[in-house]
A and B are shown apart, each in its own frame.
Chain A
Amino acid sequence: MIEAEGLTKIFDDFLAVNHIDLHVPAGQILALLGPNGAGKTTTVRMLSSVLKPTQGTAKIAGYDVSSQPAEVRSKVGVLTEHHGLYGRMNAIEYLNFFGELYGLSKSQISLKMEPLLEQLDIAQHRTKKLGEYSKGMRQKLALVRALIHEPPVLLLDEPTSAMDPESAMIVRSAIKSLRNEERTIILCTHNLAEAEELCDQIAIIQNGTIILNKTMQEVKNSLLGGSLYIAKFGKPIIEKDFLIPEGIQIHHQNQYEIHFLIKQPKKQNPSLIRYLADNFELLTFEEDSIKLEDAYLEAITHKKSSS
């Protein structure tokens, strides 16, 4: 659904994006990670046909970003970094305006708007002036705007950055349901836990170059040698008591918990959990939530030291 080959953008003498390749099939979410100024926004703008690539090609839902910009834009929903709502309008007027620009009729807009406003929990504020909206509410409304024309491709720049935890959870849940509807999503975020929770693929961009582009599992395997899982026990454990199944390593441990490095969690976890539950007082077994951060830092640091 998103196919980019050698996508490059040069502003005057500045190389903003350098030969990026991206392949995101329908129903998948790609997290585009990277430090500030790495080229994420420029990439998103090229994929939404707002910026013209200097070199390379990209197809969005089958349309070429350079030669079919209007078609591309009609198939893409973009949540921009700056939401820039019109403060003197209310949500209904605002969504009607954008819906009409996407060629929808008033009745179509109304039909699509209501469930989205409900889903993102801002329906009760629909007649309030947008100038009175909180940051989080603005972000939610901007997301509704990006979804109003039911685009098959979504480019979301920091969708939960200004939100309280509850709102962020609502938005994440909405994004998950979008994936279930077979939409293709690129998510630019600095929130690595969010990327890990939502995304199927990870691409890390630095200085305009993609330094890593893999599935979540491949990322963990390549940078850490596998996924990290934490097993917590009710009683102190002694290492010599262990008979670790093949392919699993202990990353580190203390008296009450062990961090396992597992290459093929889907295959190996059931037997490991059975073993631990049968032989030790296993309280919990869960994936370590900071692993993507480790992978990200590892990739960035590795790139810096190699360059």
Chain B
Amino acid sequence: MIDQLKQALIITKREVRDQFRDWRIIFPIFGITIFFPFLMNFTTAQVLQFVNRYGASIIGERLVPFSMMIVGFFPISVSLVIALESFVGEKERGSIEPLFNTPLLDWQIYIGKLISSIVPPLFASFVGMTVYSLGLIVNHVPLPEFHLVFQIIVITIIQAIVMVAGAVIVSSQATSVRAANLLASFIIIPMALLIQGESIVMFWGNYVTLWWVVAGLFALAILLLRIGLAHFSREELLGRDIDVLNIRWGWKVFTNQFTGKATNITKWYQQEVFPFVKDLRYSIFLIVGLLIVALFVGNSLVDRFVFPMDRLGVDNLEQQLLGLSEHWSVGNFSPVILIFWQNLRVILLGFVIGIITLGIFGVLPLFASIGVVGYIMGLLNNLGINSSLYFWGFIIPHGIIEIPAAILATAAIFQIGVIIATPNADQTIGEIWIKSIANFSKLMVGLVIPLLFVAAMVEVWLTPRIALWLLK
């Protein structure tokens, strides 16, 4: 393994040396490692003087580590440019094929290039932060505490890995440098949002939250590395030349995956829908586990986020339920459709989030909903009301259909990330994405939508009456 890694590092060594010979990389790096920290230093000193004049020294204290983070981030933004052209750039220059003809394994080439994209910008980043720190010392500005400096260094490293891992995936899947640059916005925009979030947290001074950010980014970096390695294929990179959006091909992939070889609806359920549910079993177990966690998390938040009891309306619950039973008469479809649409919308929101975040955050809407259930149960317990009554009366009658439907849909969303991260060099990420969407659609049409509709009918026509009966 170490010998194999050494072979990969031969590529890293060459690429790093090549980058340090390219003035288009050297000049910007030099500028943002030497000039920019001085500028940041000057700005920080000026702001410190200004805010101290008005007794707002806390802003100054928070500004110093924040500026260090920005000084560290600027050079690593260069890593994006290097990583984006790592594979596709070599392909365009025709130098990738001789590299592919060597005995190196796919992962060795991938890792070699990945490290080479990280090392120079990260080195520049540390130089920049050192220059900035020296400036602080010269200007007699106290340095941030050691743990904070350590945190900033870890954040900078992990951000560089995430950016580069994402960019290398783009580079290894794109057909041209132009296409890779266009796709870079998928990395730049989330990173910009992340930096904004981190800035808020830094000024807020809640540094523990930053460790959570680090943990999240670490998980994302691992996932991106896995996806990159799973889908890197010499053949794909050499074989793809055309940038044209092939809607017909995409539609064909979708319909083939959606209908399979089924010739009628019964066979479709037998051959496509139920086998897919079986494929989801591990994801389903995981989601169920997460929902149990959500229930406990929601319950534990009762003491932390106090809800005004009078707004809960538990005093006149019976009256409210009576009114609801009259208003939601059996056979009245308007509230059914409203509830059905609401539930469907939440699942679709999870799907959209899941598609963007490789399935990970697609579980959030369901997690949050179940968390609310846990919170309300905790709240009722605090009021001295038996929360199991709420659970059996208000949740279970329709929840027995609705919750499994939501679990199925969420598991399918989560599965998108699982499948993308699974090694499959024979298919492109695009193809896998389309197939995952087709699988999700299959499940939605075949099971989730009908179940949600039935659940909405039960929720409108039965749940209030059962709850009323239990309350009496």
Contact = CB atoms under 8 A, between A and B. Distances in A.
A80 B98 CA distance: 7
Contacts of B95: 82, 84-86
Contacts, number: 71
Contact of B102 (A51, A52, A98): A98
Nearest to B235: A51
B102 A84 contact: no
B384 interface: no
A84 B97 contact: yes
Contacts of B21: 88
B98 A142 contact: yes
Nearest to B22: A88
Interface string A26-56: 0000000000000000000100101110000
Interface string B75-106: 00000000000000010011111111111110
Contacts of A83: 94, 98
B238 A45 contact: yes
A97 B103 contact: no
B424 interface: no
Interface string A88-132: 110000000110111100000000000000000000000000000
Contacts of A50: 97, 100-101, 234-235, 238
Interface in B1-44: 7, 10-11, 14, 18, 21-22
A145 interface: yes
Interface residues of A, number: 29
B34 to A, nearest CB: 23
Interface residues of B, number: 26
Contacts of B249: 12
A269 interface: no
SS class, residues of chain B in contact with chain A: helix
Contacts of B313: none
A74 interface: yes
Contacts of A101: 7, 10-11, 99, 102-104
Interface string B95-135: 11111111111000000000000000000000000000000
A86 B14 contact: yes
A61 B105 CA distance: 19
Nearest to A82: B94
B113 to A, nearest CB: 13
A70 interface: yes
Contacts of A103: 7, 103
Contacts of B103: 70-71, 73-74, 101-103
B239 interface: yes
A80 B10 contact: no
A109 to B, nearest CB: 12
Nearest to B239: A11
A119 to B, nearest CB: 20
Nearest to A52: B235
Most interface-central of A84, A88, A97 (chain B CB within 10 A): A84
A272 interface: no
B214 to A, nearest CB: 35
A84 B96 contact: yes
Nearest to A76: B101
B238 A70 contact: no
B442 to A, nearest CB: 23
Given A12-B249, A97-B10, 16 more contacts: A11-B239, A51-B234, A52-B235, A74-B103, A78-B101, A80-B94, A80-B97, A84-B90, A84-B94, A84-B95, A86-B14, A86-B18, A88-B22, A101-B10, A101-B99, A102-B103
21 contacts: A12-B249, A45-B238, A50-B97, A50-B101, A70-B103, A78-B98, A80-B98, A80-B101, A82-B94, A82-B97, A83-B94, A84-B90, A84-B94, A84-B97, A85-B95, A86-B14, A86-B18, A88-B21, A101-B7, A101-B11, A103-B7
